[in-house]
Amino acid sequence: MTSAPTPMPAPDTGVPCDPLGPLKDREQVAERLLDASARHSFDPDTELDWDAPLEADKWFWPPELVSLYDTPLWRRMPLEQRQDLARHEAASLASLGIWFEIILMQLLVRHIYDKPVTSAHVRYALTEIADECRHSKMFARMIQRGGAPAYPVSRLNHQLARVLKTVSTTPGSFACTLLGEEILDWMQRLTFPDQRVQPLVRGVTRIHVVEEARHVRYAREELRRQMVTAPRWERELTRISCGEAARVFSLAFVNPEVYRNVGLDKREAVAQVRASGHRREVMQTGARRLTDFLDEIGVLRGVGRRLWRSSGLLA
Ligand SMILES: [Fe+2]
Ligand SMILES: [Fe+2]
């Protein structure tokens, strides 16, 4: 078994690091994030060269982050098929990213519905929604450029998320936001500096990492605040809904159709991914920054913790 790769240190995001300390003033946090947004925001349509030819022999996703890496099946696959799988998995993760972002945009709109419209907190939420609009368009363009199909989540998960984004209360919304953002972010931090990867994918992941750092900060601050101020029933509901979201997330992470589309036996591939020690380590390492934080603010308790364990994302 090979060990999970270590991401590059974060690029300069303009956002100071986030030590656990006393709750910070909501408006102050938002002002700083607005400031960082003004300094480090990108328009992917003009920032990236969408017409540049793809580079032969380059990967669409680092091989160590491909689900089948280091399994017996992987060892039997020729390089071309491995790279093809990486291309399809990149499209699958980008599709998952768009699904999450569309959910998040709705959660943010609901979050600010009854907040003061001129507050920095609301202005920042609107800025973040604008970021996510650009990201989703960018991911869609990347999928098209790579030539693999878009991979929607299953009908069941699609409908489950419809319920969640309609009824979820604030702390649950921010907990799910972090789940969607932090693990993909960890993978993207490994992707953008990797010279084996297609320049377009490196550009897309670099933009996303820089802008996502603010989103993570905003969601963390808000979730910490909510876990102190929300009534007991809501904190308990957050623990359970977040655990359930982690379970669904880990199952939906890579759409199993990718295996069939590169000529593999879907059932055999899924079984090998489930049995892969490398994959488990990658997913748990990717989730660790998040699980440590959730543990510290009291989200990983009781039934919620058991659900996290069953997701395979928590050791
Ligand atoms: Fe995003
Ligand atoms: Fe985001």
Do residues 13 and 36 make contact, with C-beta atoms less than 8 angstroms apart? Answer: yes
Q: Which ligand neighbours the alpha carbon of 125 most closely?
A: 2
- Radius of gyration of the chain measured on its C-alpha atoms: 19
Return the SS3 of 110: helix
Confidence band, pLDDT 50/70/90 cuts, at residue 13 = very low
- Nearest ligand to the CA of 204 is 1
How far is Cα of residue 286 from the mean position of the Cα atoms in its chain?
Answer: 10
Amino acid letter, residue 41 = S
Please report the pLDDT score of residue 22 as a whole number: 62
> How much distance in Å is there from the Cα of 212 to the middle of ligand 1?
6
Q: Which residues of 148-178 are buried (b: 16+ CB within 10 A; e: fewer)?
A: bbebebeeebeebbeebbeebbbbbbbbbbb
Give the distance (Å) from ligand 1 centre to CA of residue 180.
Answer: 9
**What percentage of the chain reaches a pLDDT higher than 90?**
72
Q: What is the pLDDT of residue 176?
A: 84
> Where residue 21 falls among pLDDT bands split at 50, 70, 90?
low
**Spacing, Cα 4 to ligand 2 middle (Å):** 24
Query: Nearest ligand to the C-alpha of residue 219?
Result: 2
Label residue 288 exposed, middle or buried (CB < 10 Å: 0-12, 13-18, 19+).
Answer: middle
pLDDT tens, 224-249?
Answer: 988 998 899 989 988 998 898 898 88
SS3 string, 224-273, reads HHHHHHCCHHHHHHHHHHHHHHHHHHHHHCCCCHHHHHCCCCHHHHHHHH
> Which ligand number lies closest to the CA of residue 217?
2
